[in-house]
Amino acid sequence: MAATNPERGGAGRDEWRVVEARFETSAPTLAAAPPADRPELAVAGRSNVGKSSLLNALCRRQGLARTSAAPGRTQLLNFFAWTLQGPGADAKGSAKLEVRCADLPGYGYAAVPTAVRDSFAPMIERYLLERASLRALLLLVDVRRGVDDRDVQLVEFLGDRPIDVLVVGTKGDKLSTGERGLWARQTAEALGVERSRVHLSSAKSGEGLFGRGGLLPALVARLRTEPR
């Protein structure tokens, strides 16, 4: 694929990019997850917030994670293996990073039968508490809907766990330029996280994903460090 212009949302050759991405498995429980043998990131947020779309946009593979206009589509822990390649890989040997991502079921989708919905929370809690390789959690918030109680509870739930939380505003293409700075400040405040942990993105335009200050380089920095 030709190098794209980072200003327009593509990943250039001097940036980290996902060079390989494959779906591994859908796991109904943590026991059925792939081995915890590489740094892992998880994507959480309410139903329909754009979790699957964001994963697809980050690895530029439409349709790898299934997206849907009907919320509640993802009801299992879906695992993907990614190979990332960093800048300087050609000059000074390989700057490659093998990671895994978990697309978590969205919370708060009322039309899912209660029995199914109630099985989500323990599954996600267990995953967040016990997954040894989990380093970073992307907590997605739809810019038009704002933070809800479950987002706050999730940040609180993680507490002292050695997991870096990055808050990602999704569907950023729906905000005007003037609304963006305010959105980030208000979101950081509502969730009690530092402003530097809040990113605005759009899976549709690629905004906020790859370039300097983008989500992918921030994520790579966290996944490359030793566990705390």
Residue found under tokens 């000059």: 91
Structural contact between residues 102 and 41, judged by C-beta atoms closer than 8 angstroms: yes
- Per CB under 6 A, the segment of 43-51, 83-91, 131-139, 212-220 that binds ligand GTP is 43-51
Contact region with ligand GTP (CB under 6 A), list: 16-24, 32-40, 63-71, 91-99: 63-71
Judge contact between 170 and 53, C-beta under 8 A.
Answer: yes
Using the minimum distance from each CB to Mg ion, give the nearer residue, 74 or 202: 74
**Residue (85 or 183) nearer to ligand GTP, CB:** 183
3-state class (DSSP) for residue 37 = coil
Least separation in angstroms between residue 112's CB and Mg ion is 13
Question: Segment near ligand GTP (CB under 6 A), from 111-119, 176-184, 196-204, 214-222?
Answer: 196-204
In eight-state DSSP terms, residue 46 is B
Question: Burial letters for 101-114: b for 16+ Cβ neighbours within 10 Å, e otherwise?
Answer: bbbbbbbbbeebee
Binder to ligand GTP among 6, 10, 39, 72 (CB under 6 A)? Answer: 72
Choice from 17, 18, 44, 74 touching ligand GTP (CB under 6 A)? 74
Burial class (CB in 10 A: 0-12, 13-18, 19+), 182: exposed
Is residue 134 close enough to count as binding ligand GTP by CB under 6 A? no
Cβ–Cβ under 8 Å, residues 112 and 48: no
Which one of 11, 42, 49, 141 is in contact with ligand GTP (CB under 6 A)? 49
Instruction: Name which position in 61, 204, 222, 224 contacts ligand GTP (CB under 6 A).
Output: 204
Q: What is the largest CA-CA distance in the chain?
A: 55
> Contacts with Mg ion in 31-60 (CB under 5 A)?
51-52
Angle among Cα 77, 35, 22 to the nearest 5 degrees reads: 60
**Interface positions with ligand GTP (CB under 6 A):** 47-53, 67-69, 71-74, 106, 170-171, 173-174, 202-204
**Interface positions with Mg ion (CB under 5 A):** 51-52, 74
